[in-house]
Chain A
Amino acid sequence: MKPLLRATPRLDTTALIYLALAGVLAVGAVAVAAGGKNLFSTANLVDMLTRTSLTGFLAIGMTLVILCRSLDLSVGYTAALSSLVAATTMDGDVGRIPLAVGAVLLVSGLIGAANGTIVAYLKVNPFIATLGTGLIIKGYLDTQYKGPAGDVPAVFQQFGYTRIGFIPVSALVMLALAAAAIWFLRSTRTGHHMYAVGGDTEVARMSGIRTGRVLVAAHVLCAMFAGVAGLLLAARFGTGSAEAYTNLYELDAIAAVVLGGTLLLGGKGGVAGTVAGVLILAVLDTVFNVMQIDPFAKDVLRGAVIITAVAIYARRQLDRTARRPRFKLAGSAPTPPDTIRDSREVKPS
Chain B
Amino acid sequence: MTRVRGDLVALLRWAANPTGTVFVLLAAIFVAIFFANSGFFEGPSFMAFLKQAAPLVILAAGQYFVIVSGNFDLSVGALVGAQVVIAARLIDGEESRTVPVLLIMLAFGVAVGLVNGLITTVLKVQSFITTLGMLLVLYGAIKLWTGGAPTGSLSESFRQAGRMGIEDVPVLGQIPWALLIMIGLGAGAIALMRTRFGRILMASGDNERAAALSGGRVDYVRTMAFVLSGVSATVAGILIGGYAGVSAQVGEGMEFTVITAVVLGGVVLGGGRGSVVAAMAGALTIEALFILFNQMALPSTVRPTVQGVIIIAAVAYAARQRHRPGKTVPKATAIATPS
Contacts and interface: CB of A to CB of B under 8 A. Distances in A.
Interface of A: 118, 122-125, 127-129, 131-136, 138-140, 142-143, 251, 254-255, 258, 264-265, 294, 296-304, 306-307, 310-311, 314-315, 319-321, 323, 325, 349
Contact of B305 (A128, A140, A320): A140
Given A123-B323, A299-B139, A311-B124, A306 B209 contact: no
B60 interface: no
Contact of B308 (A134, A255, A319): A134
Contact of A303 (B122, B136, B311, B319): B136
23 contacts: A124-B315, A125-B270, A127-B263, A128-B269, A129-B312, A131-B256, A131-B260, A132-B307, A136-B304, A139-B301, A143-B299, A258-B128, A264-B129, A296-B140, A296-B143, A297-B144, A299-B136, A303-B137, A306-B129, A307-B125, A310-B125, A311-B124, A320-B124
Contacts of B299: 143
B305 A311 contact: no
B219 interface: yes
Contacts of A300: 136-137, 140-141, 144
Contact of B121 (A134, A143, A349): A349
Interface of B: 119, 121-126, 128-130, 132-137, 139-141, 143-144, 148, 208-209, 219, 256, 259-260, 263, 268-270, 299-309, 311-312, 315-316, 319-320, 322-323
Contacts of B136: 299-300, 302-303, 306
A294 B141 CA distance: 11
Contact of A311 (B119, B143, B260, B306): B119
A132 B128 contact: no
4 pairs of A and B residues whose beta carbons are closest in the complex: A139-B305, A299-B140, A303-B136, A135-B308
Nearest to A74: B308
B268 to A, nearest CB: 8
B26 to A, nearest CB: 18
A258 B315 contact: no
Given A118-B312, A132-B312, A300-B141, A311 B123 contact: yes
Contacts of B308: 131-136, 138-139
Given A127-B259, A131-B256, A139-B302, A296 B148 contact: yes
A254 B319 contact: no
A59 B201 CA distance: 33
A18 B219 CA distance: 31
Contacts of B140: 296-303
Given A300-B140, A311-B119, A264 B128 contact: yes
A319 B132 CA distance: 19
Contacts of A118: 312, 316
Given A143-B299, A310-B125, A349-B121, A294 B320 contact: no
Contacts of B301: 139, 142-143
Contacts of A142: 300-302, 304
Given A299-B137, A320-B208, 5 more contacts: A135-B311, A139-B301, A143-B301, A296-B143, A306-B132
Contacts of A314: 123-126
B139 to A, nearest CB: 6
Nearest to B257: A131
Nearest to B127: A320
A71 to B, nearest CB: 9
Nearest to A258: B129
A166 to B, nearest CB: 29
Nearest to A142: B301
Nearest to A347: B212
A321 B122 CA distance: 15
Given A122-B319, A306-B136, A132 B141 contact: no
Nearest to B322: A123
A291 to B, nearest CB: 15
Contacts of A124: 312, 315-316, 319
A128 B133 contact: no
Contacts of B302: 139, 142-143
A134 B312 CA distance: 11
A60 B122 CA distance: 29
A296 B299 CA distance: 34
B269 A125 contact: yes
Contact of A128 (B125, B263, B304): B263
Contact of B128 (A254, A303, A315, A325): A254
